Amino acid sequence: MGTLGEKLMTVFPPQKGEIWWVEDSEVTMHPDGRQYKKKRPVLIVSSNLFNKVKEFPFVHIIPLSRQAEVDELIIPIQRGFIETSNGFKPDKDSCAIVPFIQPIERRFIKERCGKIEEDIFYAILSTLFVKVFNYNSYDLNID
């Protein structure tokens, strides 16, 4: 049957470019394993079509942090927020930690807490595909 949250997740799945709170114990941010801080904001990067597939319980995310040094794989996003909610308060040091892209199960995604601008989102995807996955380019017209 499932909880109310699980039912809502099937009707309103996470969308690319949205920020959601996730149980921090499910997000790997350190080479030596997982650290627990209750919850962490993450950016949804998997396509909306992929996120709707009920039979596949994973969503691809990029963790956000305020404690990272900006470089070519850590993208500052402090000015790229369209909206925030549910206690999420980005600051001047907010970054997307691109090398830590990972799939997590939908059941660990708790609540939507924001959205970033499309330009920032596509800059993050471009960095992911070109710098991490070694593609020559990234076509922004693909959903």
Cβ contact 116:83 at 8 Å: no
- Grouping H, G, I as helix, E, B as strand and the rest as coil, residue 20 is strand
pLDDT tens column, 75-125 = 999 888 988 999 898 888 999 999 999 999 888 888 999 999 999 999 999
Position 114 scores a pLDDT of 94
Q: In a 10 Å sphere around its CB, with 0-12 CB exposed, 13-18 middle and 19+ buried, how is residue 41 labelled?
A: buried
**pLDDT-based confidence at residue 46 (cuts at 50, 70, 90):** very high
Position 119 scores a pLDDT of 92
Arithmetic mean of pLDDT, 21-49: 78
Position 1 scores a pLDDT of 44
- Grouping H, G, I as helix, E, B as strand and the rest as coil, residue 130 is helix
Considering Cα of 2, then 87, then 90, then 27, what sign does the dihedral take?
A: negative
Task: Domains for the chain: give ranges and CATH numbers.
Answer: 4-132 (2.30.30.110)
Straight-line distance from the first to the last Cα atom of the chain, in angstroms, rounded to the nearest whole number: 31
- Rg of the chain over CA atoms, in angstroms? 15
